[in-house]
Amino acid sequence: MNDGLADRTDGELVALALVGRQEAFAEIVSRHKQPLHRLIARIIGDDEEALDILQDVFVAAHGSLRRFDMARPMRAWLARIAINKARDWRRRRAVRRLISAVFPTEHAANIADDLPAIDTLAADREELRLVNAAIAILPANLRETLILRAVEGMTQAETAEVLGISAKAVETRLYRARQRLAVEIAGRR
């Protein structure tokens, strides 16, 4: 049925998708959706919203397949799209908060809260909560570098490519992120 698509490289799948083989793009989605979802969820701090952003990532990727450089890794290309979509989402959320503050609604009590459910919070371990909270307050450039390198396991070169910076800048940002995390976590204990 899938004509051995699982054994094909990402570049081969792109080539097949470009000639109309929809199942080839479906294989790309299947192959990369879990790591991209984790990446997005860690950047924005919201698992449910990350699913919506993930869909946007694959829609954008599908529309840009002709621009994919087959000599480069698909993972880095998709991660770059995901980070850009996550940044857009954070900007839109900040604008919505500003508008809500400027134009409060009389029905604000009926609007759902952005916080996770109490039972979800209770299930999390305290150490994980501390680390996630500390990561969340890092500046975006440090947070993204830390997540790509330390959590997603990308190499320094892959991270540099995804973020569009030098490998040395990745090293510096990672060092600074780890320093800030250590200080923040120590201050919360």
- pTM for this entry: 0.63
SS3 for 108-153 is: HHHCCCCCCCHHHHHHCCHHHHHHHHHHHCCCHHHHHHHHHHHHCC
Q: Looking at the 3D structure of the chain, how many domains does it have? A: 2
Same domain, 103 and 41: yes
pLDDT tens-place string over residues 57-112: 999 999 999 999 888 889 999 999 999 999 888 888 877 766 665 555 555 555 55
Instruction: Report the C-alpha gap between 146 and 57 in whole angstroms.
Output: 21
14-46: per-residue pLDDT in tens?
Answer: 999 999 899 999 999 999 999 999 999 999 888
Q: Do 153 and 164 belong to one domain?
A: yes
Q: Are residues 82 and 119 in the same domain?
A: no
Q: Are residues 152 and 108 in the same domain?
A: no
81 and 121 housed in the same domain: no
List the one residue out of 34, 59, 37 whose CA is nearest residue 48.
37
Tokens, residue 84? 């850009």
